[in-house]
Structure 1
Amino acid sequence: MGIAHESDLDWTEMDREETKFKRKQLGEAADSEQLGCSLYELPADSKSWPYHYHTANEEALYVLYGTGTLRLDGETHDFSAGDYVALPADESGAHRVINDSEEPLRYLAFSTMNEPDVTMYPDSEKLGAFVGSPPGGRGGRKLTKYYNLDDDVDYWDGE
């Protein structure tokens, strides 16, 4: 275990469709094994990862500054500095952070680091399967696959 100072870390950036944010992986930088922590910054009029929930990992969010909206379990809530939300590893933890303000929104995201994990994406009716490294983990993944929920094959070939 170590100490990581966020100013020593470079931002990674995501800019894809309506998803746009910067991220610093604090947990990884401090060699955390069982608890992940990332610092996120969403610019004005942007959104975090698509609406989702994990089946193996609990998450939590804490807003450091700014205002926005949290889509949580199908409902929307105001989300601002000082707010903390626990996100269970089930459908009730489905979430997405939306910065609908004119200023940046900065928050911490914490998670357990269990693998394998299946992440559900209710809006797109997909699931993601991840094996070999937990969400936000350093290790190489043996499997990262996405499937439509209505995809189905037989257990036995040819039947």
Structure 2
Amino acid sequence: MRDDIVVNVDEVAEILDESGPWRSTYKPLTPALAPRMGRLGVNLCRVGPGQSACPFHTHQLEDEVFYVLSGHGVLRYGETLREIGPGDCISCPASSGIGHQLANPFDDDLVYLAIGLNEPNEVCTYPDSGKLMIRGLGQVGRLQAADYYDGESAPLKIFAMLEAAGVKR
């Protein structure tokens, strides 16, 4: 049996993820799935007072579930706020267009399991900032509206390539 099929949470190193008010630690509990982009992943997350693990966002392809183990926090789901605590299980379905975010405005750490898919073609939107993330392209940025044919060459490049290859039309 592979050593990474069963892990003990006490033996997994915490990974710090921080940038400004987004600061948390997590322990990846499903390392056997990571190298092959397994379809499911579980992280043990810890968010300190006055922090959030990530910006308000939506998922196009990945359902996400959070199970609160200890501490208290606030769930922002769309324009609704709700206090969360131990035993609460939060379901955030993909493709709903409704953003979600967990934050900790309290004095003790918020500790929860984050369970979700690892979809290589995921697209996330960030409604507060107008960004989007396209995982398959490895890019986070903003789209600028354009006409479908905007920027396309005329004459068509395909015909120039055919001519260069000696193909007669």
TM-score range, shorter chain: 0.7 to 0.9
Q: Any residues of structure 2 matched to 1:114-125 within 5 Å, and which?
A: 114-125=119-130
Does 1:76 find its partner at 2:81?
yes
Matching residue within 9, 17, 21 for 2:20: 17
- The residue identity in structure 1 corresponding to 2:138 is T
Structure 2 unaligned regions, length at least 5: 155-169
Compute the displacement of 1:9 (Å). Answer: 0.9
- Corresponding position of 1:140: none
Matching residue within 47, 51, 56 for 1:51: 56
- Tell me, in whole angstroms, the C-alpha distance in 2 between the residues paired with 1:128 and 1:73: 19
**Does structure 2 conserve the Cα–Cα contact (< 8 Å) formed by 1:44 and 1:103?**
yes
Q: Which has the larger radius of gyration?
A: 2
**Does structure 2 conserve the Cα–Cα contact (< 8 Å) formed by 1:9 and 1:24?**
yes
Task: Name the structure with the higher strand share.
Answer: 1
Compute the displacement of 1:90 (Å). Answer: 2.2
- Tell me, in whole angstroms, the C-alpha distance in 1 between the residues paired with 2:46 and 2:111: 4
- Tell me, in whole angstroms, the C-alpha distance in 2 between the residues paired with 1:154 and 1:145: 22
- Tell me, in whole angstroms, the C-alpha distance in 2 between the residues paired with 1:78 and 1:70: 6
TM-score, structure 1 normalization? 0.84
Does 1:145 find its partner at 2:139?
yes
Q: Percent identity?
A: 26
Change (3 A) 1:83 1:92: farther
Which digits, 9 at most, give the CA deviation of each residue in 1:49-81, with x for residues without a partner?
Answer: 100011011000000000010111221101101
The count of aligned residue pairs is 146
- Tell me, in whole angstroms, the C-alpha distance in 2 between the residues paired with 1:155 and 1:6: 50
TM-score, structure 2 normalization? 0.79
Which digits, 9 at most, give the CA deviation of each residue in 1:83-119, with x for residues without a partner?
Answer: 0011111245421111111001100000122220100
- Corresponding position of 2:165: none
